[in-house]
Homo-oligomer: A and B are copies of this chain.
Amino acid sequence: MISTKKTDLLKRTDIFASLDSKELEGLAHLAVERRFAPDEFIFWEGQPAHWFYIVQEGQVKVSKYSPSGREFIVAFFTPGEMFGEVAVFQGKPYPASACAVGETRVVGIRRDDFLSFLATHPSVSLKIIHVLGERLRSAHTRLRDLAAERAEGRLANILLMLASKLGPTLPFTRQELADMTGLTPETTIRVMSRFRDRKIVRSGRGKTTILDEAALRRIGEGLPLN
């Protein structure tokens, strides 16, 4: 019995949930646990992608940086979710950087090991297709959003998307919300203040609680702020 902890974790991920304990055991042999301090980077955009990861504990922020140095947050990942996989499947460098948000533990699996594992476990491929499909769908929705909505709509939609994943209380600063919407921190603060005044959210330092989801949904649909 190698590592109950690792098999347990793997068991709790979407893509490996269907494996039996023997298969999990085999996979756990390939998995390496790594620990990261807050704000420590797990990989950088452009690096060769030798590893694919699953969040074990904490949160991981995946971002791309514009040439001017401005950050754009592509996604947040929570325990049980994989990241870094796109690059691994294609043998290309990572297309974005990954950074630990708080104290974070992840398990990594080497690209080669994972690809051979996949070759012998087709059901996992199907799960991965499912997950990638979901992410693609969400990316397209977000694209439409960035293209069509203005500040209030963008923020409303990001808040809704985050809430559907993390619950109504969101642990993000205005700066981070700005980095997810492509707005400036100032505009984000102003809009969030309007939301607060209208009792749509309650806000504290580094966190936001959604009070009126229906209102956000209306705003996100492009309807005027009342």
Contact = CB atoms under 8 A, between A and B. Distances in A.
Interface string A132-172: 11111101111110111100000000000000000000000
Interface in A68-91: 68, 70, 72, 74, 85-86, 89-90
A221 to B, nearest CB: 5
Nearest to A125: B125
Contacts of A125: 122, 125-126, 129
A143 B141 CA distance: 10
Copies held by the complex: 2
B132 A132 contact: yes
B95 A147 contact: no
Contacts of A140: 64, 74, 95-96, 139
A212 to B, nearest CB: 19
Contact of A66 (B126, B132, B137, B222): B222
A128 interface: yes
Interface in A102-136: 118-119, 122, 125-126, 128-130, 132-136
Contact of A67 (B130, B139, B182, B222): B222
A85 B134 CA distance: 11
Interface residues of A, number: 42
Interface in A51-74: 64, 66-68, 70, 72, 74
A181 interface: yes
A37 interface: no
Given A64-B144, A95-B137, A95-B141, A130 B221 contact: no
Given A96-B140, A139-B143, A182-B148, A133 B85 contact: yes
Interface of A: 64, 66-68, 70, 72, 74, 85-86, 89-90, 95-96, 118-119, 122, 125-126, 128-130, 132-137, 139-144, 146-149, 181-182, 221-223
